[in-house]
Amino acid sequence: MANLKSLAKDTAIYGMSSIIGRFLNYLLVPLYTAKLAAAGGGYGVITNMYAYTALLLVILTYGMETTFFRFANKSEEDPQKVYSTILMSVGFTAFLFAVAVILFITPISSVMGYADHPSYVWVMALTVALDAFQCIPFAYLRYKKRPLKFAAFKLFFIILNIALNLAFFLVLPALYESYPDVVGKIYDPAVGVGYAFYINLACTSIITFCFYKELTGFQYHFDKALFKRMLTYSWPILVLGIAGILNQTADKILFPYIYKGGDAHAQLGIYGAASKIAMIMAMITQAFRYAYEPFVFGKAKDKDNRETYAKAMKFFIIFTLLAFLVVVGYMDVLRHIIGRDYWEGLRVVPIVMAAEIMMGVYFNLSFWYKLIDKTIWGAYFSGIGCLVLIAINIIFVPRYGYMACAWAGFAGYATAMTLSYIVGQKKYPINYPLKSIGVYVVITALFYAVMTYANNHLDTLPALGVNTVVILLFIGHILKWEDLKIQKK
């Protein structure tokens, strides 16, 4: 129980930085969707470019975050040497990537469909290279159990990013209309959506300098033998990570190429904006991961903790199901996060949220093969799930548009989750409380049906009233049954 309390505390701290940060970042969604009309495709460009950067970030870190925790917690390894070796390797490959993109910017930007705006590509390449390098000092803070410093850096980046976006998308455009000669020295309306990428690079660069304590004060040493051992462990994680991130981004990367309509970026923008509302699940999963990864590997050398892993899975599912109901119940309020031009895409939100829950379950299940150093299994599961997702996108997006993207993500995660559970129970069996979890899933499905009926057939205020009662009933069920079980023990 003490272990779970420690996990809950760290999850709360990481979660506050993640959830508050994402909430503040949501300020950019109404800003972008208000200033960049759906028909113009501006937000579609942002959605598409950030999908590429998410994929590249996984490639450029090549599984070294998880590898760091695994090797730093091994009694026979020197944690400082592990950190130094990984830091140097990731930094070097990130540098090579940035140089390569700049040297071949013309053909790369043409293939990506941004021949008229190559600056979008090279700016984001520099940004993702710095992001990849920063992942290792951030992992080091987690290893050292410094969640407050971790959270402070994350929030500083987001607040700075929001402030600059407000300046260049709201304040300066307004001033430019009255004082073009003066404001025109620092602001050019022709840049438009490009400012989103320039601002991201500026903020990422500033955060890099904040890590001076984590990047100095020790002797850098690259251990070739250690690096080879770590690569053996990390390359399946890289394959797993690529497949996993493609499950989240492949639709947004492929959409402009396979959608048959002439407004591909406009449709992608609608899908991307609506999906932002569903990202509360991604926040919860990310917060849980930040705390759970060092927790699991830190306990790996202790006695068997399978009962703890089973409990953690159950409470993760309960909490995400509650979050699902909250978002569905207050959709009439949350939809104002995005501009009215984008509201037609809100029908994808429940589907995307359900997919994110399964992704979180899959992450929980993934520790069985990490703990027995058989990460190749993760590559198999994620790869198969990714193939399912890509196939559904290619087959159905031309006909059904972004709705096919949402269902493809659902199918991909469901496939990977199911395979990981089946094989995991044979290789590293954990007695998950399936009956109890199943009860919560059934209750959530019934409550979702009630909420959907209320949202479709009642006015806004009565619907919100009904949905609030339903959410309170779900919370009451959690408190009643979980407290009763604790008392019995």
Q: What is the pLDDT of residue 39?
A: 56
Residue 374: exposure state from Cβ atoms within 10 A (0-12, 13-18, ≥19): middle
Answer for the pair 312, 292: CB distance below 8 angstroms, yes or no: yes
Q: What is the pLDDT of residue 445?
A: 94
| CB within 8 Å of 343: residues ≥ 6 apart | 274, 335
Q: What is the pLDDT of residue 18?
A: 57
Measured distance CA(398)–CA(257) in Å, rounded: 10
Average pLDDT taken over every residue of the chain: 83
pLDDT digits (tens, 9 = 90+) for 329-383: 988 888 887 778 788 888 999 999 999 889 888 888 877 777 777 777 887 888 8
Measured distance CA(399)–CA(408) in Å, rounded: 14
pLDDT digits (tens, 9 = 90+) for 138-195: 988 888 878 788 888 888 888 899 899 999 988 999 898 888 888 888 998 888 888 8
More confident call, 288 vs 236: 236
User: Lowest-confidence range among 39-48, 127-136, 222-231?
Assistant: 39-48
Q: Count of CB atoms within 10 A of residue 429's CB?
A: 10
- pLDDT over 90 percentage in the chain: 29
pLDDT digits (tens, 9 = 90+) for 113-127: 888 889 999 999 999
Measured distance CA(309)–CA(209) in Å, rounded: 37
User: Lowest-confidence range among 84-98, 354-368, 385-399, 438-452?
Assistant: 354-368
Q: Count of CB atoms within 10 A of residue 50's CB?
A: 18
Residue found under tokens 């490009």: 194
Measured distance CA(409)–CA(246) in Å, rounded: 9
Average pLDDT over residues 424-447: 89
Q: What is the pLDDT of residue 489?
A: 47
Does the pLDDT of residue 88 top 70, yes or no? Answer: yes
Residue 479: exposure state from Cβ atoms within 10 A (0-12, 13-18, ≥19): exposed
Q: What is the pLDDT of residue 370?
A: 72
Query: What confidence tier does 90 reach under pLDDT thresholds 50, 70, 90?
Result: very high
More confident call, 15 vs 367: 367
Query: What confidence tier does 14 reach under pLDDT thresholds 50, 70, 90?
Result: low
More confident call, 20 vs 334: 334
- Encoded tokens for 439: 């009860």
- pLDDT over 70 percentage in the chain: 86
Does the pLDDT of residue 3 top 80, yes or no? Answer: no
Q: What is the pLDDT of residue 488?
A: 47
Query: What confidence tier does 199 reach under pLDDT thresholds 50, 70, 90?
Result: very high
Measured distance CA(88)–CA(281) in Å, rounded: 33
Residue 213: exposure state from Cβ atoms within 10 A (0-12, 13-18, ≥19): exposed
Answer for the pair 360, 314: CB distance below 8 angstroms, yes or no: no
- Encoded tokens for 224: 């070739």
Measured distance CA(273)–CA(344) in Å, rounded: 10
Angle at 51 between CA 46 and CA 56, to 5 degrees: 125
- Encoded tokens for 24: 């503040």
Q: What is the pLDDT of residue 484?
A: 46
Cα distance between the two ends of the chain: 12
Q: Count of CB atoms within 10 A of residue 218's CB?
A: 12
Does the pLDDT of residue 240 top 60, yes or no? Answer: yes
